Structure 1
């Protein structure tokens, strides 16, 4: 039997159905997640199958959502909270930083906080600035929180199931631009993917391209263009930006000697800077060229007419690759 091809948002929906079937403690809450199935329909059908007590429509109050999730998680439930857009998540930061991330440490392991906070991230869908942000580095700075960003339907499915299983809080960021791009065959087999591992999407020996989220799409296109010229790039999807799988990244850079890091977040103090610094510490003597970063500029996401200038494109990646390849 042919497996149905699913988009990334459909894979998220499938994972939520699977998790709620497997564990009665999993509850979904957020603005419009029930009757409407979420702003992008990621929770479509959950209310009809699992009822009002497990799929909860809430007021427009992200601060309350953060507090509710911490309280539910501390008392044995596994809340999966949907924030409609990443730009609305900051109202919940106090609960995330002050309580969710610290609960295990504060109680010396007596309590944990098995909550997942899902939100769309990134530009590319012609939305206003607060709907188009990529501020994953803010959450990667918080000790006690995992930050996961899938870049394909299969990884969205497997990583979300693993995130829901995790006994500690997980920020699960879903690239909006990829929601309905590149559907792929996906079995509903319940297979979890490791949360703290990178995924090597393409083997190569000439240079390493490191990316995550929506920028993986352009990175793979750039690798294909390079291959047409006889340059074999290794492409790595970081997937979990906190904690980082530095062992995989180091091994690749030691092999290729050259590295370009691509992400949609602004350049300053981003996760790409942390990766670059760590690779300099670990693999300095194996580098044959300075590490390059291809990022969005340090400005708020612009209105849609300028989005394609804001998002790092294939030509930007190729230019950075030319820079590292020019070193003898």
Structure 2
């Protein structure tokens, strides 16, 4: 299998989807001639022409609104919001139109729309290029929300999202774009050539939406994570010496409740990790699900390790992120329960 970065895998997913289906169109700010600010769409316009890959005005509301109309008409648009922080002007279109069109039309119309967004911090982008807004979308019935943690999942999940008849929010952790984040350090330092997750299957394949994966097996405590935090959780388990089982959720909506409950009922303990702020973050939903479905198996309260309840602190972002020390302390705390 060829080795790819996440950027290359996402680009390859676009290529495969567009070759298989002429109804797949790609557009957004600078995604055509320039190939996207992170180069995830580089070469698509040259290969498929300006009618299928084109640049849009600087209007997130316009991008998403146009894509919804295309999807209702029968196309399969995959649009890029340049940074997740920019999506807020389009939020009404996503919530009021994309998420509801199937139900409002009693199934007469569907919305096979994929909205890609780079998410999270770690590239010194400041407050307006580093947010993690996944919880805003997991609250919306009718959407699917996906967060890959490695190249092969990024490709398989993106193809599955494009082929899905429902609107999908596809969040891409920027810290993982160009190399794996090993969790022990403040930047990606391991080249993909030395990391097995860099192997990406050629051609068409999909990863199922709504299915989590066990990244590290363990028996003492379950760690629920997604995106970059999967690697940080693995590092915390290694550094702490605690036999933690790390679950990569991959899809937040629908979330894989079976995988979560199977693991927590085995370990009897649970720590939830995410980069976004604590209050009303997706970790609150995960904690509630574990409490509701695994209460009689729990040996300690569910513990959350997250970002701070503050606007994104650019000058202190590596302290803001959950790191191995903070997660390790939470693992030790639940083990004392």
Shorter chain as normaliser: what TM range?
Answer: over 0.9
What residue number does 2:322 align with?
312
C-alpha distance in structure 1 between counterparts of 2:73 and 2:237, whole Å: 47
C-alpha distance in structure 2 between counterparts of 1:35 and 1:27, whole Å: 15
Post-superposition Cα deviations, 1:271-297, rounded to whole Å, max 9, x if no partner, equal 111011111111101000111100001
C-alpha distance in structure 2 between counterparts of 1:310 and 1:10, whole Å: 29
C-alpha distance in structure 1 between counterparts of 2:285 and 2:199, whole Å: 34
Counterpart mapping for 1:1-328 below 5 A: 3-182=1-180, 183=192, 184-226=198-240, 229=241, 231-303=242-314, 305-327=315-337
TM-score by length of 2: 0.94
**In 1, are the aligned partners of 2:2 and 2:202 still within 8 Å (CA)?**
no
Q: How many residues align?
A: 321
TM-score by length of 1: 0.96
C-alpha distance in structure 2 between counterparts of 1:288 and 1:95, whole Å: 44
Runs of at least 5 residues in structure 2 that lack an aligned partner in the other structure: 181-191, 193-197
Runs of at least 5 residues in structure 1 that lack an aligned partner in the other structure: none
**In 1, are the aligned partners of 2:123 and 2:175 still within 8 Å (CA)?**
yes
C-alpha distance in structure 1 between counterparts of 2:263 and 2:106, whole Å: 38
Moved over 6 A (4+): none
Instruction: Indicate the larger mover: 183-192 or 32-41.
Output: 183-192
1:223 deviates by: 2.1
1:157 deviates by: 0.6
C-alpha distance in structure 1 between counterparts of 2:99 and 2:54, whole Å: 23
1:155 deviates by: 0.8
C-alpha distance in structure 2 between counterparts of 1:45 and 1:101, whole Å: 31
Post-superposition Cα deviations, 1:62-96, rounded to whole Å, max 9, x if no partner, equal 11011101000000100001000011001111110
Cα RMSD (Å): 0.9
Post-superposition Cα deviations, 1:154-176, rounded to whole Å, max 9, x if no partner, equal 11011000000100100000001
1:203 deviates by: 1.2
